[in-house]
């Protein structure tokens, strides 16, 4: 029973992602369809990051408070989204 509840929550999260503003397909070119590619040889393996770390990274790129030498690229990817959209999207990727 517990497993079924967890599965339903996961499905709900996916459905929410589909209707959220963040277009995950735009990220796949650099991060890979399963998020395990090190984007441009520089990023972490996002598939291995936690939801919380991803949320902090995405909001940080937008605010200019997070990132390495290529953070400008990521700022361009996330600047148009609200923090709430980024937070919601982060819950759907990573672990």
Which residues are at the interface with ligand HEC (CB under 6 A)?
Answer: 22, 26-27, 29-31, 39-40, 42-44, 46, 54, 57-58, 67-71, 73-74, 77-78
The answer to whether the Cα torsion of 16, 76, 59, 6 is positive or negative is positive
**Nearest distance in Å: CB 10, ligand HEC:** 19
Q: How far apart are CA 11 and CA 45, in angstroms?
A: 23
Nearer to ligand HEC, 22 or 88 (CB): 22
**Nearest distance in Å: CB 4, ligand HEC:** 29
Q: How far is CA 70 from the centre of its chain?
A: 17
Q: How far is CA 90 from the centre of its chain?
A: 4
Nearer to ligand HEC, 7 or 84 (CB): 84
């Amino acid at each position: 029973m517990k497993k079924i509840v967890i599965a339903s929550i996961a499905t709900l999260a996916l459905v929410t992602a589909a209707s959220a503003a963040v277009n995950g397909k735009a990220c796949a070119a650099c991060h890979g369809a399963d998020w395990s590619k090190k984007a441009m040889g520089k990023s972490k393996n996002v598939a291995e990051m936690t939801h919380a770390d991803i949320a902090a990274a995405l909001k940080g790129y937008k605010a200019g408070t997070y990132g390495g030498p290529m953070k400008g690229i990521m700022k361009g990817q996330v600047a148009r989204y609200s923090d709430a959209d980024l937070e919601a999207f982060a819950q759907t990727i990573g672990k």
